[in-house]
Structure 1
Amino acid sequence: MEEFGAALEECNLIDLGFCGYKFTWNNKRPGAANTRERLDRAVANKEWRDMFPTGTDNNFQGRIARGFKFEERWLLEEDCGNVVDEAWAQTGGADSPMAIVSAKINHCGAVLDAWGSSRTKPEVAEIKRLKKVLERLHNGVQNEATRSEFLAASK
């Protein structure tokens, strides 16, 4: 992390900040062994900030329909790459390079969301239920019973 911070400083880059849940990754271990981190960051230099004074990472992420989440298991589907390639190629013609990229990202998100929802398997509801159980157990009182329940739900 120190090297990352040094690289940001050397390049005069500043974190654009975020809104929403503080962490984007969780190792799902119970109690003191639990680690939560924010892995995704958006950074910019002063010149960019001067051109886009209200810019934050949410300006670029939040335009896709609320609730869109990329499912890692989609990468196991043979046609996932083709879906992204085709969606990316379908969008263009905006006024500026940034608008073009933003439109392409939004379009890819919408297409992936529709494509992925057609592949949702019945176990997805169970996975979501278990994630809620894990979060409840992690945030609750830690004892032998909750640790056992946490490990069972994790498996």
Structure 2
Amino acid sequence: MQLFRDVIDECGFIDLGFIGSQFIWQKHFVDGHSIWERLDRGFANNDLFMQFARAKIHHLSFNASDHCPLWIIPDGMEIPSITKPFKVEEMWLSDRGCSNVVEAVWTSHGEAEPSIKVIKKIKTKKCGKELQEWNCKHFRNVRRELEKKIVEGG
């Protein structure tokens, strides 16, 4: 155990503390005595600690094991939202409105430097956003309608 403590010190790890019961592991013996310990811990180095100083580790109650689960809330950490990737639908290409949207986005004015204009339009995903808006207005929910027709047998 002392070697483990030495590694923690050597790496400069900081115990993140906890919220909840002080002991997360227990062992009860037939003779009546018990051992209660806090075995599981959350550690961070100084850089990580400074970045997520508001992170919280909760000791949860759990009766199906002799260990309590840890619930770590990385408060301050940005969790990316999951979005579906943009995809061009083949049916859009049969409609002149699709090419009108693309043309409008790519010919819109902005930066004078052509390369900057292209990079900016790609980074902001402007064309994809405009096409998705156009799709919602023009085609609405074609897939949902098709699925409904299939289910209805029509």
* Interval of TM-score (by shorter of Structure 1 and Structure 2): 0.3 to 0.5
Larger strand share, 1 or 2 = 2
TM-score (norm 1): 0.37
Instruction: Between the two structures, name the one with larger relative contact order (CA 8 Å, sep ≥ 6).
Output: 1
TM-score (norm 2): 0.37
Larger helix share, 1 or 2 = 1
Greater CA radius of gyration, 1 or 2?
2
